[in-house]
Chains A and B, each alone.
Chain A
């Protein structure tokens, strides 16, 4: 009797497990993810095989890596539409250098450096020229895509060395599993971005600028610097994602990653990162990217007609964000 009363008492004073769970955005997202996994493993024989899981992990790793950078930009109150073009461009620069006979390390570094530079230019246009991020990156998206076509004359760059392709095709043995290298990169970058956003002053400032730029500036935060760092990081990480994709496919096509910026932004938004800025975390973006890829995977495994797939993906984007909004209102 005594203990029961105590329990009741606790229930009124402390928020219940369910309430606490609902209050935590990440937990809600994980719940959606787990729900999908359970349903899919019941409906198909192939979903919950190690082979398929790692296949899915690799497939969304580059989108996720690019969306970490995107998340930092969105949290800081901006948006980066040039992410897809950057993914293609870093692959093309690296591939062309490799074909020209340069070594892998140099080519990869150049590919990353170029997209880092593009990200920095985006940052300058936003912070110094005061262009709206949407316009500035819309412009770079088109400029970079033009460079992709122009430099390759429309042809995909092929015959890349094995040592480069192993970046995207190698599986690393962890316990009993063979985990694809891009998935490990993804986790590493997620941790790094998490540390940047949650454990550093710069990260704190990013949330502040995204939440209320005017107030942040009044508080003495160098908003221009925050934006520069965010866009530079987004360029670099998009380039990294593009490199891994190129390494996995063994080909750098000028048309690669076309429209991926929307997937990258959608991953962040599904992950609870508010487009108005100042809110969210990279873990959300990671789960958002996972949800999208699992959905695509599921539609194929279930034999869902290809013609209807875009409709299903759109519905999930809206659904996931609506659940998140509903949860926020409840709390």
Chain B
């Protein structure tokens, strides 16, 4: 009987203590809210970044003393003025940090500085505003990406041939940088001629159309550089001339981005190589960096290179797996294992 009483007393004590301790800890666990703002909500690649941001927030909440929350907001379409308004709202709401992909390098300077002056640290990712007070920029050099695409194409096509380029909206800064890098990369091979550059205005239908027209206009074409993936969103059978030429190996195609649709094309041998940004990292790494900056007071250089994924037939399976499991944390196997 006595022992029973003690047991009950002991149990109650443990329970009360446990509740107290957890209560204290719960109070101690501080909340951090980071706003993660893409260029537009209507572009699927940003959703992958968003998933990365949420994954990192969950990870940080589980492993640190902080509850990290991600606020995913943005303008529906790519629009600098609308994005400024969104950031102003976020400042008014009050957050602990902002990660933003800028629709315009200059138009956002003012509002970013406003946030920093209000005590909210800002970093940019994917697309920078270098003249602002943001503490760092996480991104890739599109110029280097274009150069890497040129190398990939030469590797498969050889150092002779005729190449065509497909771009989206002429004048878009990131696309122009890729084209500049690609052209500089091709310059070292005098046997390669860039015969034409066609534009599809970010439209799948027009992309399909101009690729087919170019295939007719230049029957001796040997290479393509798709500066984005527009026509590849279309299903098989929509570009019969290109498909036939790609299948027979007459035309080698290198494209930017590494979305699942492109991976399928690559696996079938219609594409020879892909150069892609780490979309997942746009969110995953940005939240980590904001956390490090706010909590650990870590210093960052003005520009942080996020690196590029180069995908060929040798590592396409690993990339497909990453998309399937939504886990991009494992490093990709080398694109050319024989080296």
**B109 interface residue (CB < 8 Å to A):** no
CA distance A146 to B196 in the complex (A): 36
Binary contact readout B236-260 vs A (1 if CB under 8 angstroms, 0 otherwise) = 1110000000000000000000000
Please give me the residue from chain B that is nearest to A300 by CB atom: B213
Q: 12 pairs across A/B with beta carbons < 8 Å?
A: A59-B209, A149-B76, A154-B47, A155-B44, A160-B235, A165-B237, A256-B205, A257-B205, A296-B209, A300-B198, A305-B197, A307-B199
Q: A18 an interface residue at 8 Å Cβ cutoff?
A: no
Given known contacts A297-B213, A303-B195, A250 and B41 CB-to-CB distance under 8 angstroms: no
**Complex alpha-carbon distance, A300 and B261, angstroms:** 26
Residues of B within 8 A of A257 (CB): 205
CB-CB under 8 A from A41, the residues of chain B are none
Cβ contact within 8 Å between A306 and B170: yes
Q: Are B213 and A249 in contact (CB under 8 A)?
A: no
Interface residues on B, range: 35 or more
Q: Tell me the bound Cα distance from A300 to B197 in angstroms.
A: 9
With the chains together, A22 CA to B261 CA distance in Å? 52
Chain B stretch 208-237: residues in CB contact (< 8 A) with chain A: 208-210, 212-214, 216-217, 233-237
- List of A residues within 8 angstroms of B198 by Cβ: 300, 306
Decide if the interface of chain B is mainly helix, strand, loop or mixed. mixed
Asked if B43 CB lies within 8 Å of chain A CBs, one says yes
Taking residues whose C-beta sits less than 8 angstroms from the other chain, chain A's interface range is 35 or more
Least CB distance, B159 to chain A, in whole angstroms: 23
A residues within 8 A CB of B4? none
Q: CA of A331 to CA of B178 in the docked complex: distance in angstroms?
A: 54
CB <8 Å contact, A49 and B204: no
A59-B209, A245-B205, A305-B197 given as contacts; is B41 within 8 A of A154 (CB)?
yes
Inter-chain contact A253/B233, CB cutoff 8 Å: yes
Where the two chains meet, the residues of A that have a C-beta atom closer than 8 Å to any C-beta of B are 44, 46, 49, 51-52, 55, 59, 146, 149, 153-156, 158, 160, 165, 169, 245, 248-251, 253-259, 296-297, 300-301, 303, 305-307, 309
Query: What is the CB-to-nearest-CB distance from A96 to chain B, in angstroms, rounded to a whole number?
Result: 15
Q: Which residues of chain A have C-beta atoms less than 8 A from B236's C-beta?
A: 250
Q: Is A55 touching B197 in the complex (CB atoms < 8 A)? A: no
B167 at the interface (CB under 8 A from A): yes
Give the complex CA separation of A188 and B238 in angstroms. 23
Q: Is the CB of B202 closer than 8 A to any CB of chain A?
A: yes
Q: Given the complex, which residues of A lie within 8 Å of B43, measured CB to CB?
A: 154
Q: Report whether A55 and B212 are in contact in the complex, using a CB–CB cutoff of 8 Å.
A: yes
| Min distance, Cβ B250 to any Cβ of chain A, angstroms | 17
